[in-house]
């Protein structure tokens, strides 16, 4: 364990970490791939192998704190070398404890299996047609205007309506969904430690899904919502209605800021690197590899969190039961033991998809194929319909001296807004 030194910035509340989380992670890495934070009773994992070790070790690490993050105190005092029973006894008092990403073991596997029953290849193909149609319209309007704001004006409505389409939300309700999501802040709020995640939007959306599921269970039709309402667990049993509602709502929550901010991060890089922009415009087949490298270098999820439920180890590092762990995905993605010249942007890296931007193990992001497709599709349209995309100097300053606002979140890495100028063809 490191000794108490002064001057360590607090990952969870210090806004200077936001501008350059990568510099902060390198400071932590200098202490070793697993280190004890000075100011909190929390471990941080910055090593690539060590992060995978934690994510795969579901026997000893619980996901129960993956939503609120490691900064929120546990609702109980851990006792002994195995706190599994204490976690189960307090789940309903843990923030986000009713979301699939926080479940462990059999309950997690059962609920997760429902999603693969929904996202069939034919459903995903139909959804991709919707993406093209919707993206085309958004991009044409933006190019006609000569400018747009990417994160709020384009990405947020786009990703919201793509998931709404995937889940079969009726057309008349989609605008209400969009407005509700627009109003909610991203998770991992640095400015209110007691409320790092707001659940008001999720509760509002839950009201809609409750009605859909209730209606389709009583009156099945040939539509996606009926598939959602009647999907069964692998043993053939029908899930509790609330479980289905929570899952549907969580898909919105999980795919919202993450995908919208990934588009912002990718677009910022395209706008600020004209040679790269021309290369992608000339050969759109390179966009998928480009996106993988954006995910590695500036993925929209910086970290996830685990709770040691048994006394265990990460590598040689001893971990007592009850210890909270920050798995710094963004740091693992720049671990020099895994990546050659990790700070360099290179989209011809071998095994480029092995980054941890979507996590690893049983909780690996379910929406990764969707996120990759939706961001690729809209970038294709932006590049096809423009001859040049540049950042607005009025809003963001000149190259080399940019002013960019990042969301105050210890989970999400993403711009609060991104203004671009678009030259048509």
DSSP 25-37: HHHHHTT-SEEE-
For ligand HEM, the closer CB: 12 or 250: 250
Provide the mask over 73-92, with x wherever binding to ligand HEM is found by CB under 6 A and - wherever it is not: --------------------
Find the binding residues for ligand HEM in span 238-277 (CB under 6 A): 250-251, 254-255, 258-259, 262
Helix and strand totals (H; E) in the chain: 16, 10
Grouping H, G, I as helix, E, B as strand and the rest as coil, residue 421 is strand
Under rule CB under 6 A, residue 299 binds ligand HEM: yes
Q: What character string, x for contact with ligand HEM (CB under 6 A) and - otherwise, covers 109-148?
A: ---x------------------------------------
**Phi, psi angle pair for 148, to nearest 5°:** -165, 165
Of 217, 219, 145, 161, the C-alpha closest to 420 is 145
Give least dist CB 255 to ligand HEM, A. 3
Residues between 324 and 383 with contacts to ligand HEM, criterion CB under 6 A = 329, 357-359, 363, 365-367, 370-371
Instruction: Output the residue with the shortest Cβ distance to ligand HEM.
Output: 367
Burial class (CB in 10 A: 0-12, 13-18, 19+), 258: buried
**Collapsed DSSP state (helix, strand, coil) of residue 15:** helix
Nearest distance from residue 250's CB to ligand HEM, in Å? 6
Q: Is 300 an interacting residue with respect to ligand HEM (CB under 6 A)? A: yes
* HSE, side-chain direction, 13 A CA sphere, residue 348: 1
d(CA 393, CA 386) in angstroms, rounded, equals 18
What are 189's two structure tokens? 């709020």
Per DSSP, 146 falls in state: T
Sheet holding 61-62, edge to edge: 34-36, 42-45, 324-327, 304-308, 61-62
Write down the least CB distance from residue 249 to ligand HEM, Å.
10
# of chain residues touching ligand HEM (CB under 6 A): 27
Residues 173-212: x where in contact with ligand HEM by CB under 6 A, - otherwise, as a string: ----------------------------------------
d(CA 298, CA 50) in angstroms, rounded, equals 20
Query: 44, 71, 94, 101: which one contacts ligand HEM (CB under 6 A)?
Result: 101
Residue (298 or 421) nearer to ligand HEM, CB: 298
Report, in Å, the least distance between residue 400 CB and ligand HEM. Answer: 28
> Which residues are near ligand HEM by CB under 6 A?
63, 66, 100-101, 112, 163, 250-251, 254-255, 258-259, 262, 299-301, 304, 329, 357-359, 363, 365-367, 370-371
């Amino acid at each position: 364990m490191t000794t108490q030194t002064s001057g360590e910035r607090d990952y969870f509340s210090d806004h200077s970490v936001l501008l350059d989380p990568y510099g902060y992670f390198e400071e932590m890495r200098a202490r070793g791939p697993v280190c004890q934070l000075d100011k909190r009773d929390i471990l941080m994992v910055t090593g690539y192998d060590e992060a995978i070790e934690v994510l795969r070790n579901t026997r000893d690490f619980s996901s129960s704190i993956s939503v609120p993050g490691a900064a929120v105190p546990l609702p109980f005092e851990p006792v002994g070398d195995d706190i599994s029973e204490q976690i189960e006894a307090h789940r309903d008092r843990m923030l986000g404890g009713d979301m699939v990403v926080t479940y462990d073991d059999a309950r997690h596997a059962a609920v997760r299996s429902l999603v693969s029953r929904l996202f069939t290849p034919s459903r995903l193909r139909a959804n991709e047609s919707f993406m093209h149609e919707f993206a085309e319209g958004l991009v044409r309007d933006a190019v006609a205007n000569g400018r747009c704001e990417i994160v709020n004006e384009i990405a947020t409505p786009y990703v919201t309506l793509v998931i709404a389409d995937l889940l079969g939300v009726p057309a008349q309700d989609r605008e209400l969904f969009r407005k509700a999501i627009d109003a909610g802040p991203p998770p991992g709020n640095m400015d209110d430690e007691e409320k790092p995640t707001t659940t008001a939007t999720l509760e509002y959306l839950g009201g809609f899904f409750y009605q859909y599921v209730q209606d389709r269970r009583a009156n099945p039709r040939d539509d996606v919502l009926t598939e959602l309402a009647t999907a069964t667990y692998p043993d053939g049993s029908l899930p509790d209605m609330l479980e289905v509602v929570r899952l549907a709502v969580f898909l919105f929550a999980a795919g919202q800021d993450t995908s919208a901010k990934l588009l912002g991060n990718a677009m910022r890089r395209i706008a600020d690197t004209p040679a790269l922009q021309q290369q992608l415009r000339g050969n759109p087949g390179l966009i998928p590899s480009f996106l993988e490298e954006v995910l590695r270098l500036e993925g929209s999820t910086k970290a996830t969190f685990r709770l040691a439920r048994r006394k265990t180890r990460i590598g040689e590092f001893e971990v007592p039961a009850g210890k909270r762990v920050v798995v710094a995905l963004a740091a693992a993605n720049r671990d020099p033991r895994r990546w050659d010249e990790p700070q360099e942007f290179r989209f011809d890296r071998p095994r480029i998809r092995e980054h941890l931007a979507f996590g690893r193990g049983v909780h690996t992001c379910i929406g990764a194929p969707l996120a990759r497709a939706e961001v690729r599709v809209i970038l294709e349209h932006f590049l096809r319909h423009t001859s040049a995309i540049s950042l607005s100097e009025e809003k963001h300053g000149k190259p080399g001296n940019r002013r960019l606002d990042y969301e105050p979140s210890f989970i999400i890495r993403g711009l609060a807004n991104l203004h671009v100028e678009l030259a048509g063809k």
